[in-house]
């Protein structure tokens, strides 16, 4: 297990002094993006281009154009990104993270990404040897998967909702469905996320007419990847009935979880405390009888179920002015003992079979017993700091039988 410093009140109060001793925690600079002109940049892309490894970008209220992070360690908080007039043309992803070296980290917190221009993916994370954390995010896509992760060694998703509303129709008239999220040759840990597939196709004078049934998209499409999912929902999209001549063709519902291979390592999915549902079939007046989507469809690979109820960690404020008090809220089962740690965000390691997302040095902030409603809060004084710092937090929760459960990790930004 990653070594932790012992719990003590002085250690908690001196949290930053200990963490500052780890130079890798210190960011270089904080940049402000503000469309109203009160920051250094008017759009996120310009801030990303100017930033150096380890910088923090805080985005103020507004709708911003797409951006790309290419081979940089950055923390980006509060981005609301939107692109496109609705149309059939293919566009770049709304948000793209790529080409991270093993020592690099990207944190996206409070991300909203909206797409209506049919890119290959709304949020696209690919070819990353380093770690990517996406937290408290919403991806809403038309004509593309909401989220695609491809060829990435370590991706953490916490409280991410990714949905693909409607598919597209090819020039031939064949409709295409898309998943809420697609993983290709990657390793992912997801906590309390929701992935929903398409439930129809884009229609209008600018689009071809469907010539065959419209099926629903899968909630989560896992291709040659390993994902551990704790909490949340996987929802297959509904099949849609379309009129072709005098016939209404109803499409099959999408699968809640689809596991398949394209020739790589067979996929593996570990599920804990999660709801999975297949999509409902469309209405049909002729043609094949449409079928409901499967809850689990395992074309290849192994599906495993994790015991226990998920435990969650939430921060009152992701961006914390210092000096201040950090409040960490933990939810689980009544009587649980939650131990909260802070440290350097690191590639996932396993201790006693549990995923740990913090590297050394990591500090125990304190412990709290969850009340009768399964909730508890820990307040930690945070000393003033010079310069921006990005810290990871995670809780280890013990139940009455001393069985251990990990919470999701969370990012704390001290600008």
Helix ranges (DSSP H) in 293-413: none
- Are 115 and 250 part of one and the same domain? yes
Structure tokens at 49: 């281009």
**Measured distance CA(196)–CA(182) in Å, rounded:** 11
Of the three residues 272, 305, 338, the one that is the final residue of a domain is 305
Number of domains into which the chain is organized: 2
CATH number for the domain harbouring residue 382? 2.20.130
Of the three residues 305, 334, 355, the one that is the final residue of a domain is 305
- Are 175 and 53 part of one and the same domain? yes
- Are 285 and 357 part of one and the same domain? no
Identify whether 9 is part of a domain.
no
Nearest to 259 by CA among 232, 286, 288, 219: 219
- Are 326 and 301 part of one and the same domain? no
- Are 289 and 353 part of one and the same domain? no
Q: Note down pLDDT in tens along the chain; length 415 residues.
A: 333 434 444 444 455 445 544 444 444 799 999 999 999 999 999 999 999 999 999 999 999 999 999 999 999 999 999 987 666 667 889 999 999 999 999 999 999 999 887 778 999 999 999 999 999 999 999 989 999 999 999 999 999 999 999 999 888 989 999 999 999 999 999 999 999 999 999 888 888 888 889 999 999 999 999 999 999 999 999 999 888 888 898 999 999 999 999 999 999 999 999 999 999 999 998 888 999 999 999 999 999 999 999 999 999 999 998 788 999 999 999 999 999 999 989 999 999 899 999 987 788 999 999 999 999 999 988 877 777 889 999 999 999 999 999 999 999 998 8
Domain that holds residue 249: 24-305
Structure tokens at 307: 């015991």
Q: Return the ∠ at Cα 71 (arms to 65 and 73), rounded to 5°.
A: 85
Strand, coil or helix: 373: coil
Identify whether 5 is part of a domain.
no
Q: Cβ(31)–Cβ(55) under 8 Å?
A: yes
- Are 292 and 356 part of one and the same domain? no
Helical (H) or strand (E) element with 12: helix 9-13
CB atoms < 10 A from the CB of 160, how many? 26
Q: For 45, list phi and psi in degrees, rounded to 5.
A: -60, -40
Q: Cβ(253)–Cβ(279) under 8 Å?
A: yes
- Are 276 and 382 part of one and the same domain? no
**Measured distance CA(355)–CA(230) in Å, rounded:** 11
Q: Cβ(79)–Cβ(44) under 8 Å?
A: yes
| Cis amide prior to 248 (ω within 30 degrees) | no
Identify whether 7 is part of a domain.
no
**Measured distance CA(287)–CA(118) in Å, rounded:** 29
pTM: 0.94
Query: Distance of alpha carbon 170 from its chain centroid, rounded?
Result: 29
| Residues 6+ positions from 342 with CB-CB distance below 8 Å | 15, 19, 358, 362, 363, 365, 391, 392, 393, 412
- Are 63 and 104 part of one and the same domain? yes
């Amino acid at each position: 297990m990653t070594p932790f410093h012992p719990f003590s009140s002085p250690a908690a109060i001196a949290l930053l002094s200990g963490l500052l001793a780890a130079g890798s925690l210190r960011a270089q600079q904080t940049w402000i993006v503000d469309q109203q002109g009160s920051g250094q940049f008017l759009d996120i892309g310009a801030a990303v281009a100017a930033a150096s490894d380890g910088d923090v970008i805080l985005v103020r209220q507004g709708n911003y154009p797409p951006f790309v992070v290419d081979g940089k360690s950055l923390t980006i908080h509060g981005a609301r990104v939107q692109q496109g007039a609705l149309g059939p043309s293919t566009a770049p992803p709304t948000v793209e993270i790529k080409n991270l070296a093993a020592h690099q980290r990207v944190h996206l917190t409070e991300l909203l990404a909206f797409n209506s221009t049919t890119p290959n993916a709304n949020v696209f994370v690919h070819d990353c040897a380093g770690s990517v954390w996406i937290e408290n995010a919403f991806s809403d896509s038309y004509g593309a998967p909401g989220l695609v992760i491809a060829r990435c060694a370590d991706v953490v998703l916490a409280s991410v909702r990714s949905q693909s509303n409607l598919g597209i129709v090819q020039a031939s008239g064949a409709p295409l469905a898309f998943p809420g999220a697609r993983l290709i040759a990657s390793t992912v840990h997801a906590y309390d996320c929701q992935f929903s597939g398409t439930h129809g196709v884009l229609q209008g004078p600018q689009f071809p007419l469907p010539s065959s049934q419209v099926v629903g998209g899968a909630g989560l499409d896992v291709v040659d990847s390993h994902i551990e999912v704790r909490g949340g929902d996987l929802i297959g999209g509904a099949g849609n009935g379309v009129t072709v001549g005098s016939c209404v063709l109803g499409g099959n519902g999408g699968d809640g979880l689809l596991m398949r291979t394209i020739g790589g390592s067979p996929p593996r999915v570990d599920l804990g405390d999660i709801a999975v549902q297949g999509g409902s079939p469309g209405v049909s007046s002729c043609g094949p009888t449409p079928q409901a989507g499967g809850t689990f469809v395992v074309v290849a690979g192994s599906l495993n179920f994790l015991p226990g109820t998920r435990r969650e960690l939430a921060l009152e404020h992701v961006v914390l002015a210092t000096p201040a008090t950090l409040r960490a809220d933990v939810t689980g089962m009544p009587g649980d003992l939650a131990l909260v740690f802070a440290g350097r965000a690191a590639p996932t390691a396993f201790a006693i079979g549990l995923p740990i997302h913090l590297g050394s040095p990591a500090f125990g902030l304190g412990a709290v017993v969850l009340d009768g409603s399964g909730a508890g809060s820990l307040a930690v004084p945070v000393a003033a700091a010079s310069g921006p710092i990005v810290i990871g937090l995670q809780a280890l929760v013990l139940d009455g039988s001393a069985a251990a459960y990990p919470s999701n990790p969370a990012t704390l930004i001290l600008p």
